[in-house]
Amino acid sequence: MSVEYIQVAEDYSDEPIELPLEPDDNTLLLSTLQGQFPGATGLKYRNPENKAIRGIRLNDLKLHAPGCGWDGLVYYCVFPKDSVSENKRKSDDVMENVSKSKVSKCQTNKCTDLIVLGLAWKTNEQALREYFETFGEVLMVQVKKDAKGQSKGFGFVRFSNYETQLRVLGQRHHIDSRWCEVKVPNSKEGQIQQVPCKVFVGRCTEDLTQEDLKEYFCKFGEVTDVFIPRPFRAFSFVTFLDPEIAQSLCGEDHIIKGVSVHVSNAAPKADGNRNQNYGNSMNSRSQNYAGNSAPYNNSNYRNEFGGRGSGGGNSNGSSSNMSSGGGQNSNFMPNNPNSGGNAWGSGGNNGNNSSSNNNNRGNLDMPNLQALGINSGGNPGNQSGSGGNMNNPLGVGLNALNLPMNPAIVAAALNQWGLLNGMQGQGNNDQGPNNQPWNQQQQRNQNAPDKTNFM
DNA sequence: GTTGAGCGTT
């Protein structure tokens, strides 16, 4: 029987190449796919009948033909997180040209040994190497063994390319019929730079879509996520696969669809973004990082403005800010020294009558003016709710005339002016030019936007 | 010959 081939392309715009099917069952081995497309985890194709994208069944490391057979169609690779970055792979080519120097620069000293947990007992170093070589050049593999030479079920791998490392860290791994977990080993923890992958994009206009941003920023490197707060808040977050790319863009102005946006660093999330683990938890093993490392742990005020997820969206904002009390404090980390009579918690806004409370809608992403010491008085009995944007985190100080102000836009603007960053760590000390009225009234308003909660 | 959360020289 002769070997049959199917056409597989990395992306819709790429030229397909032919991959051989298994003669016995007409399947495509995942390993065959990965041999040509390192990191690919599956296939998809466009159904000619209804134009919908269909996924190919993957079972036992084999990709199975659709019901009607492979049928001469072109199949496209699926990569992890494909849904949010459809042209991510394309950006590799761009990176070759655009920022190769940045990439190679950041690759130095960035690769580290990675621990591979959950290996099958039978998996040896050769198998491990063969598996990981589908992602990129492997400098070292080890399988740890006991005195008798029996595998301990874990090992180490080191890549030469940092992109490869990130990619490997970002997905699950099926090796010798077991799902394995690849992580930065504890021993290396803290030694790894924790450069944020996410940037804050200020001065966005409402017509800048996710696609616009992705399309624009993928010129610089692989974009793994674009987050635009809804409703519109004049900024967004763009996450790159490579933190160095993100870093390199910070401080720059960019023109996207005629809009001048400003890129700056997004404050790191409280527990850091270690491991670049894009939400792919392995197996059922949960990794408990509580209390270990995470430099931000103690400052982890997760003020979610009335408790994210509590009580639904409240998007019409009709009622007042009911959840501010307990909801706030309960969001603090248990070991947070502030969690008692803390700041940022309830305190301020009892009796807040904001009518259409613009700010209390699961505010995930705004720069934390409070933490930066820029917010206004706590407004006990704040009656500012006359328009569309009460609870102005800049409060009376900045907005002395009580003009309607959208805190998001203010935040974006401040960020753009460098005020946010400049003030970071400054607390509410009255220093120099930042000694503004709003700085002197440090009561806490839980509705201030928070840039620190977004990574 | 069994095991299945972890963290590397021996």
> What percentage of chain A reaches a pLDDT higher than 70?
50
Cβ-based neighbours of A270, under 8 Å, separated by 6 or more: A294, A296, A297, A299, A300, A301, A302, A333, A452, A453
Instruction: Flag whether pLDDT at A79 surpasses 70.
Output: yes
Q: List pLDDT tens digits, range A143-181.
A: 999 988 899 999 999 999 888 998 899 788 999 999 999
Q: Give the three-class secondary structure for A347.
A: helix
Q: Which of chain A's residues 318-357 bind strand B, using a 7 Å CB cutoff? A: none
Cβ-based neighbours of A364, under 8 Å, separated by 6 or more: A227, A229, A308, A453, A454
- CB-hemisphere CA count at 13 Å for A312? 6
Higher pLDDT, A304 or A238: A238
Nucleotide B4, nearest residue via CA and C1': A118
Q: Which DSSP symbol is given to A26?
A: -
| pLDDT on residue A192 | 64
CA of A153 to C1' of B6 (A): 9
Which nucleotide in the DNA or RNA is closest to residue A123, CA to C1'?
B4
- Does at least one atom of strand B sit less than 7 Å from the CB of A149? no
pLDDT average, residue stretch A244-258: 90
CA of A142 to C1' of B5 (A): 19
Helix, strand, coil percent values for chain A (each to nearest 5): 25, 20, 55
- Does at least one atom of strand B sit less than 7 Å from the CB of A187? yes
Average pLDDT, chain A: 64
Query: In sequence order, what are the beta bridge partners of A58?
Result: A63
- Does at least one atom of strand B sit less than 7 Å from the CB of A218? no
Q: List pLDDT tens digits, range A347-402.
A: 333 333 333 333 333 333 333 332 222 233 333 333 333 333 333 333 333 344 44
| pLDDT on residue A179 | 92
pLDDT average, residue stretch A215-224: 90
The C-alpha atoms of residue A198 and residue A243 are separated, in whole angstroms, by 7
